């Protein structure tokens, strides 16, 4: 009997098929009541008690193997069927492949990073939740300084020393604390101000700020760097620096670029002047250098800051800043970039 069991087992092991009919025949042959295994079980009743145990175990194993074979072949045939039905029409149009695209803020940020990296600026980043020192005090804005009101701040209620950074100048403070001049770095990132949301302003936006510190850095270097940037970024080669005030730079200036007055849009966005403001800049105040352990007798530097949304709005003629944050797929789809 053992021999018969082994022979049947080998047959079952070797069996395979791609046809449903053959599989059904397999089932009838081995697993039906009158099938081979059923017969073996009938025979089993009469075997000698000395081999009963061994035969019983083998027989059970055989039955399980047959059942498993049946199940797995059945499954395979069903899978095949599905596969076939969705792919058998070779003239069917292909399914569209949706490519994602970068967010316009990311595209513009990457472009700015690329432009400044060509002239040796690294990229530095820092935390969005800042302490008072890095966002204000180190930047020559001690507590109760009226200029703190220039940037309406979100504070962390549980800890009055913590706030959402109002500019990425805080990253530059961290950078100056950790590095020695010469240093050239830009800090792109998200900033927060407690402002009413409108088409032109949002409480969350992005900035990129630049910093250059070395011996003998002058205002002329600042101007040339900004000119290089506006040429690369906008293809415009006329800028003007208007005297202004920031607590952390002295002297300070507002950066305007000459956009031109060729089209109606030019008139509209420059309010008929041809000039557009894109950011602030100035020579780093000696107090800021001192606060970050840089010797103001030996070193000088410049800093500048710009809004990324504003630049993106200019480049892509986006009329409303809120569009950047709504994640409307119809808006996002329009920006394709390899950057
Ligand atoms: N931090 C300033 C702001 O957010 C911008 C700025 C940076 C101005 C560096 C001057 C120098 O408004």
Q: Is the pLDDT at 81 greater than 70, yes or no?
A: no
Phi, psi for residue 3 in degrees, rounded to 5: -60, -45
Q: In three state form, how does the secondary structure of 97-150 look?
A: CCCCCCCHHHHHHHHHHHHHHCCCCEECCCCCEEEHHHHCHHHCCCCCCHHHHH
The region of weakest confidence among 123-127, 213-217, 229-233, 269-273 is 269-273
In angstroms, what is the span from residue 274 Cα to ligand 1's centroid?
Answer: 23
Beta-strand relationship, 204-214 and 300-307: antiparallel
Q: Encode pLDDT of 284-306 as tens digits.
A: 999 999 999 999 999 999 999 99
CB atoms within 10 A of CB 194: 12
Both tokens assigned to 200: 């032109």
Residue 339's pLDDT is 46
Residue 83's pLDDT is 58
Residues in the chain: 339
Which ligand 1 atom sits nearest the alpha carbon of residue 302? 11
Q: What are the Cα distances from residue 133, in Å, to 139, 171, 185, 235, 271?
A: 8, 11, 20, 38, 38
DSSP string, 29-59: IIISTTSHHHHHHHHHTTS-HHHHHHHHHHH
The region of weakest confidence among 55-59, 164-168, 172-176 is 55-59
> From atom 2 of ligand 1, which residue's Cα is the shortest distance away?
305
* Average pLDDT over all residues of the chain: 90
Q: How much is the average pLDDT of 310-319?
A: 90
Residue of 135, 176, 195, 246 to mutate, ligand 1, most atoms within 8 A of C-beta: 246
Cβ neighbourhood burial of 101 (10 Å; 0-12, 13-18, 19+)? middle
Q: Residue 287: how many CA atoms within 13 Å on its side-chain side? A: 13
Secondary structure element (H or E) that encloses residue 27, with its range: none
In angstroms, what is the span from residue 281 Cα to ligand 1's centroid?
Answer: 6
The region of weakest confidence among 25-39, 171-185, 278-292 is 25-39
Which residues lie with the beta carbon below 6 Å from any ligand 1 atom? 167, 169, 209, 246, 249, 252, 280-282, 303-305
Residue of 166, 205, 209 to mutate, ligand 1, most atoms within 8 A of C-beta: 209
Q: Is the pLDDT at 130 greater than 90, yes or no?
A: yes
Residue 194's pLDDT is 93
In angstroms, what is the span from residue 304 Cα to ligand 1's centroid?
Answer: 6
């Amino acid at each position: 009997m053992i021999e018969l069991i082994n022979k049947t087992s080998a047959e079952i092991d070797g069996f395979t098929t791609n046809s449903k009919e053959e599989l059904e025949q397999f089932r009838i042959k081995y697993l039906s009541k009158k099938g081979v295994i059923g017969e073996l079980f009938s025979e089993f009743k009469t075997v000698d008690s000395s081999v009963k145990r061994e035969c019983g175990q083998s027989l059970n194993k055989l039955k399980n193997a047959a059942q498993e074979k049946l199940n797995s072949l059945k499954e395979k045939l069903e899978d095949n069927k599905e596969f076939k039905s969705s792919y058998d029409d070779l003239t069917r149009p292909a399914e569209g492949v949706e490519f994602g695209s970068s967010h316009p803020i990311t595209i513009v940020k990457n472009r700015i990073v690329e432009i400044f990296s060509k002239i040796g600026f690294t990229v530095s980043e820092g935390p969005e939740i800042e302490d008072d020192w890095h966002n204000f005090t180190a930047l020559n804005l001690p507590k109760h300084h009226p200029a703190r009101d220039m940037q309406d701040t979100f504070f962390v209620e549980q800890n009055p020393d913590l706030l959402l950074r109002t500019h990425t100048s805080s990253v530059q403070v961290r950078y100056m604390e950790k590095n020695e001049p010469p240093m050239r770095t830009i800090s792109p990132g998200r900033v927060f101000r407690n402002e009413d949301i409108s088409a032109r302003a949002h409480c969350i936006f992005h900035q990129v700020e630049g910093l250059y510190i070395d011996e003998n850095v002058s205002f002329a270097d600042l101007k040339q760097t900004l000119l290089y940037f506006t040429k690369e970024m906008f293809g415009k080669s006329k800028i003007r620096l208007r005297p202004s005030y920031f607590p952390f730079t002295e002297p300070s200036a507002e950066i305007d670029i000459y956009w031109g007055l060729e089209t109606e849009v030019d008139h509209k966005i420059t309010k008929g002047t041809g000039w557009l403001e894109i950011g602030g800049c100035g020579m780093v105040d000696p107090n800021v250098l001192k606060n970050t352990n840089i010797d103001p007798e030996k070193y000088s530097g410049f800093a500048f800051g710009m809004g990324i949304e504003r630049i993106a709005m200019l480049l892509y003629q986006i009329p409303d800043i809120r569009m950047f944050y709504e994640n409307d797929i119809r808006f996002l789809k329009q920006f394709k970039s390899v950057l």
